[in-house]
């Protein structure tokens, strides 16, 4: 037995040491769940290749579980290719189960491109008390997002999720700029649908998260208008502040995105939108080392409640939908 003070709760936990290095070790052993997205090779390159100009120190991807969703072409058509790249280019070992992966690593990247299996895939991770970064979307439904958070709380296991948009230099510069009190914002970008997920979970998550990056949490209700090619969802924050998401539904993923921020001193615009994954992966590594998520789980849940409320508003013919009601309806 060993005594551990959990970084989230301050509780003293007694944990069995099963040969795993402590989270504070010099180089963390990272496991990947789900090999069906280009993120797995891109992230592994940043963590494992010391010659990469964006190299992030502190950990190394050593083990992966392939996963994959047969009914989702974006998953089924790529899982074998990316798994092979992890093996051949980076020397990553493939294992047959998430449980086996957890026995060999200190921390976990849950990368399955399909949000639906995330809840079941993360159960063994929480049972093993491993810190986990959950790539977008957190899950395939708001109900599952809430259950993931419940399981994490019950097992005292830290989790973190974020879109890479949040850490683009142009957006962090906008957030730090002095616009005065934030009165509102408009965030726009691509918003392709995927029929197995709520409308905005699949790709709209990126500009939605950018909206919350500058507005912060506290959204009370959402009203959505769905046009032929465009979605507009308007959130109401305290003091009547309005945050607007504008999604281009049938545009390519490379479609321009950005944020306009309205403040009491100035109206400011994000200067370009592109960046690489490294700024987010720096935060992921800090999370792995500290157990403290840089974006609160509460805010992440609110982002998914915003997107679910937007779907409810669409079904209700564009009527405002309360986030509190949507959370309650889904077990929150």
pLDDT at 14 over 50: no
pLDDT tens readout for residues 28-57: 999 999 999 999 999 999 999 999 999 999
* 216: nearest Cα among 149, 288, 295: 295
pLDDT at 15 over 50: no
309 contacts 243 by C-beta, under 8 angstroms:
no
* 210: nearest Cα among 248, 241, 243, 249: 243
Query: pTM (2 decimals)?
Result: 0.90
Least confident interval from 165-179, 191-205, 245-259, 290-304: 245-259
pLDDT of residue 253: 62
Query: Do the domains 2-135 and 165-278+303-329 sit in the same CATH topology, yes or no?
Result: no
Give Cβ neighbours of residue 271 (< 8 Å, ≥ 6 apart).
Answer: 170, 173, 174
* 30: nearest Cα among 65, 64, 61: 61
DSSP-derived secondary structure letter, 202 = T
| CA distance linking residue 47 with residue 277, whole number of Å | 11
Give Cβ neighbours of residue 224 (< 8 Å, ≥ 6 apart).
Answer: 231, 232, 233, 234, 310, 311, 313, 314, 318
Top-tier CATH class for 2-135: alpha beta
pLDDT of residue 117: 98
**What is the mean predicted confidence (pLDDT) over 208-213?**
98
Domain boundaries, the chain: 2-135, 165-278+303-329
pLDDT tens readout for residues 266-277: 999 997 767 789
| CA distance linking residue 130 with residue 187, whole number of Å | 34
Backbone angles phi, psi at 294, to 5 degrees: -70, -20
Structure tokens at 126: 């929480």
Taking all residues of the chain, what is their mean pLDDT, rounded to a whole number?
A: 91
pLDDT of residue 80: 96
Beginning with the edge strand found earlier in the chain, give each strand of the sheet holding 159-160 in spatial order. 93-95, 59-65, 28-33, 107-110, 132-134, 159-160
pLDDT tens readout for residues 100-121: 999 999 999 999 999 999 999 9
pLDDT tens readout for residues 288-321: 999 999 999 999 999 999 999 999 999 999 999 9
* 182: nearest Cα among 218, 147, 156: 218
pLDDT at 250 over 90: no
pLDDT at 160 over 80: yes
pLDDT at 127 over 70: yes
pLDDT of residue 11: 35
pLDDT of residue 275: 75
pLDDT at 122 over 70: yes
Task: Give the CATH fold of the 165-278+303-329 domain.
Answer: Dihydrodipicolinate Reductase; domain 2 (3.30.360)
CA separation (Å) from 268 to 170, 177, 194, 258? Answer: 11, 8, 32, 11
Beta bridge partners of 132: 108, 159
Least confident interval from 24-38, 184-198, 282-296: 24-38
Cβ neighbours, 10 Å, residue 266: 11
pLDDT at 254 over 90: no
Backbone angles phi, psi at 238, to 5 degrees: -50, 150
């Amino acid at each position: 037995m060993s005594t551990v003070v959990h970084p989230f709760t301050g509780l003293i936990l007694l944990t069995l040491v099963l040969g795993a290095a402590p989270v504070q070790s010099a180089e963390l052993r990272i496991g990947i769940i789900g090999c069906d997205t280009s993120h797995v090779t891109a992230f592994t390159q940043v963590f494992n290749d010391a010659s990469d100009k964006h190299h992030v120190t502190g950990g190394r991807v050593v083990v992966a579980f392939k996963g994959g969703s047969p009914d989702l072409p974006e998953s089924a058509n790529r899982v074998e290719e990316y798994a092979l790249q992890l093996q051949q280019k980076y020397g990553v070992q493939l294992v047959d189960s998430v449980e086996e992966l957890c026995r060999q690593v200190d921390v976990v990247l849950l990368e399955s491109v399909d949000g639906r299996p995330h809840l079941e895939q993360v159960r063994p991770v929480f049972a093993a008390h491993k810190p986990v970064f959950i790539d977008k979307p957190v899950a395939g439904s708001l109900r599952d997002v809430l259950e993931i958070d419940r399981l994490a709380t019950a097992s005292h296991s830290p989790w973190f999720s974020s879109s890479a948009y949040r850490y683009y230099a142009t957006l962090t510069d906008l957030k730090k700029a002095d616009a005065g009190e934030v009165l509102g914002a408009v965030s726009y970008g691509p918003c392709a649908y995927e029929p197995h997920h709520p409308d905005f979970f699949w790709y709209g998550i990126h500009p939605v998260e950018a909206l919350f990056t500058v507005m912060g949490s506290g959204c009370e209700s959402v009203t959505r208008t769905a046009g032929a090619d465009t979605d507009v969802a308007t959130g109401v924050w305290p003091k009547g502040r309005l945050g607007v998401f504008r999604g281009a539904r049938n545009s390519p993923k490379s479609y321009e995105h950005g944020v306009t921020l309205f403040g009491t001193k100035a109206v400011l615009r994000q200067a370009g939108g592109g960046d690489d994954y490294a700024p987010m992966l720096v935060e992921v590594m800090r999370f792995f080392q500290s157990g403290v998520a840089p974006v609160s789980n509460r805010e992440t849940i609110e982002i998914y409640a915003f997107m679910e409320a937007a779907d409810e508003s669409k079904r209700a013919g564009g009527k405002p939908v309360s986030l509190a009601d949507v959370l309650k309806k889904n077990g929150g």
